[in-house]
Structure 1
Amino acid sequence: MTAVKSVKIDGEDIHIFNSAIYIFESTSGYTLELDLIVSEVTERKYKKEQNLIIEIQLESGRNIDSIMYVKTLSGGLPQLNLYCDLDSIDEYEEFDIVNENSSSFPDAEIGITLEEIRSVEMPNENISLRLNLPIDQVEWLKTQKKANLNEMFKELISKYWNKQ
């Protein structure tokens, strides 16, 4: 199987945890498929794009530059599934060719856990809380800066979470 060394999306290096690159054969022709396990932050950044400029460096030293389309698949780990149509597969002899009936389909998720991904890049999410507090506490909270409140709640939750 051909191995991916690095990937750039629109000129930006991205951290990949695992990948699979292969040729998919269908009745309509051939496509070059690139499945990437990435962080949730990277997935969110690119999953709604229609197409991206992709620079792939393979372990063999070969470089592939292409405009690729983005497919979103629901599943376990955050991933980007990229593809582009191929007119000919002559220059892709080192790639595995799979189709819908293949018994061994590349699986980029093997050997990676969400915890490993989050240890490299933990996403942040906004949350709204509705609390019933004494007025003096509400007034104090309103005078605090958002960054200070974020840090205060992170510390508070970490203390209680670690006790459980």
Structure 2
Amino acid sequence: MAAVKTVKIDGEIIHIFNSVIYIFESHSGFTLELDLIVSEVIVKKYKQEQTLIIEIELEDGRIIDSIMHLKTLSGGLPQLNLFCDLNDIDEYEDFDRVDENSSWFPNVEDGITLEEIRKVEMPNEDVSLKLKLPIDQVEWLKKQKKKDLNEMFTHLINEILKK
């Protein structure tokens, strides 16, 4: 069974929490499939892309360079499904094979939690609040820098969450 050591997307090494690489066999041919559990930041960065230049380094030292198609899967943990058609499968003898009728299918999410992923890379999101405040507080808020407000609210919310 082949195991993934590292993955580069467009030349950039990404942090992977778990991965499964296998051959999917269908009536139309063979597909190399790479399922990756990654951070929400990585999914957000690449989810609009259709194809990516991928370099996969396997544990045994082999390198697979390919242009792969991308599917992002919603629900569950943040993951990418990369795939490309294969014409010659001889060099992939040690890869697991799966077809539509297989009783076994790789579960890339096994043993990983979203909390563990967020400890490595926590996504940040913009949020807008609509508040009704006295005018003097509104004036004070408007004078503050965005960076300072972000730090203040992060600290305040973290203190509330500790209780």
Shorter-chain-normalised TM-score: which range?
over 0.9
Deviates more, 1:69-78 or 1:2-11: 69-78
User: Could you list the per-position Cα deviations for residues 41-72 of structure 1 after superposition, in whole angstroms to 9, with x for gaps in the alignment?
Assistant: 00110111010000000001110000000012
CA distance in 1, matches of 2:101, 2:76: 23
- Specify the alignment match of 1:117 in structure 2: 117
The residue type equivalent to 1:6 in the other structure is T
Secondary structure of the equivalent of 1:133? coil
Q: Could you tell me which amino acid in structure 2 is paired with residue 81 of structure 1?
A: N
Same amino acid, percent of matched pairs: 75
Give the equivalent residue in structure 2 for 1:15. Answer: 15
| 1:11, distance to aligned residue in structure 2 (A) | 0.2
Provide the residue aligned with 2:38 in structure 1: 38
Structure 2, unaligned runs of 5 or more: none
Partner of 2:100 in structure 1? 100
Segments of 4+ moved more than 4 angstroms = none
Superposition TM-score, scaled by structure 2 size: 0.98
Partners in 1 of 2:147 and 2:6 — Cα distance? 35
Rounded Cα–Cα distance in structure 1 between residues aligned with 2:142 and 2:129: 14
How many residue pairs get aligned? The number is: 163
Which residue matches 1:70? Answer: 70
**1:158 match:** 158
- Is 2:24–2:33's contact at 8 Å kept on the other side of the alignment? yes
TM-score, structure 1 as length reference = 0.98
**2:76 aligned counterpart, secondary structure:** coil
Letter of the aligned partner of 1:123 in structure 2?
P
1:75 CA drift (Å): 2.5
CA contact (8 A) 2:41 2:123 kept: yes
Cα contact 2:10–2:53 (8 A) shared by 1: yes
Deviations 1:89-144 (A, max 9, x none): 11110101101111110111001100000000000011110001000000000000
> What SS does structure 1 have at the residue aligned with 2:64?
strand
Query: What is the CA RMSD across the aligned residues, in angstroms?
Result: 0.6
Partner residue, 1:149: 149
